Amino acid sequence: MTEQPEQSPPPASAHRRIDARSLRGLAHPLRMQIFELLNLDGPSTATRLAERLGENTGTVSWHLRHLAEHGFIEEETGRGTRRERWWRRVPVATQLNSADFHDDPDSRGALSLYLHELVQQYFTRVSSYISEDWEDDWRNVGTISDWSHLRLTPQQLKALNEDLAAVIARHTPGPGTEPEAGALPIVVQLQSFPRKPRDTA
């Protein structure tokens, strides 16, 4: 499987494939939460993030430095003070291909933790959406859907995912494009995966 976190469109040449070292740097529950907040809500400080996460500021600062060391985030220069640094996600499209770690037993634990934490983040986003109070014009356009009767080969599943990604790309504003009045941030979550047949006899 591949996993591509959503983000503002980076420059065409700015892509990064996560390797074993960077995977181990990211695969920590708190670091993944910090990374998600910076990704979804933009730059922040250790103090602000600590308040949102219910953590100690010193602990969050340590994990921020760790994420920066592995190239996932960077300090936002020209903002803040020497005592209060602002951090932002590096504007690079990251991709994780789990097949890269199939023959690397040292990375399997990090990969498992990362994927399980990622699925938990996706679940939490949906749970927040359905528990929040929305006006009807927004409530009626969200969707939680599944399609479970497809029968595809690996090549067909790959083509399906590429087609869906192309649809999202057509609706993604280009760099510097101002959103229309009334526009809100939109999260698109897509999970498409094979299911092994169960013996029903």
Eight-class DSSP state of 83: S
Report how far residue 82's alpha carbon sits from residue 150's, in angstroms, rounded to the nearest whole number: 55
CA distance readout (Å), 110 to 10, 11, 139: 26, 29, 37
Q: Report how many helices (DSSP H) and strands (DSSP E) the chain contains, helices first.
A: 7, 6
What kind and span of H or E run contains 15?
strand 15-17
Report how far residue 11's alpha carbon sits from residue 8's, in angstroms, rounded to the nearest whole number: 10
93, amino acid identity: A
Report how far residue 28's alpha carbon sits from residue 113's, in angstroms, rounded to the nearest whole number: 7
Eight-class DSSP state of 89: E
Domains of the chain (ranges; CATH) run 2-144 (1.10.10.10)
- Could you give the angle at the alpha carbon of 83 between the alpha carbons of 80 and 86, nearest 5°? 35
Q: What is the pTM of this model?
A: 0.85
Report how far residue 114's alpha carbon sits from residue 28's, in angstroms, rounded to the nearest whole number: 7
The whole-number pLDDT of residue 176 equals: 84
Nearest to 88 by CA among 27, 40, 30: 40
* Phi, psi torsion values for 94, nearest 5 degrees: -105, 145
The whole-number pLDDT of residue 6 equals: 46
The whole-number pLDDT of residue 112 equals: 95
Eight-class DSSP state of 76: E
Q: What is the pLDDT along the chain (201 residues), one digit of tens a residue?
A: 665 544 444 444 478 899 999 999 999 999 999 999 999 999 999 999 999 999 999 999 999 999 999 999 999 988 867 778 999 999 888 889 998 998 888 899 999 999 999 999 999 999 999 999 999 999 889 999 999 999 999 999 999 999 999 999 999 988 889 999 999 999 999 999 999 988 766
The whole-number pLDDT of residue 154 equals: 96
Report how far residue 199's alpha carbon sits from residue 3's, in angstroms, rounded to the nearest whole number: 30
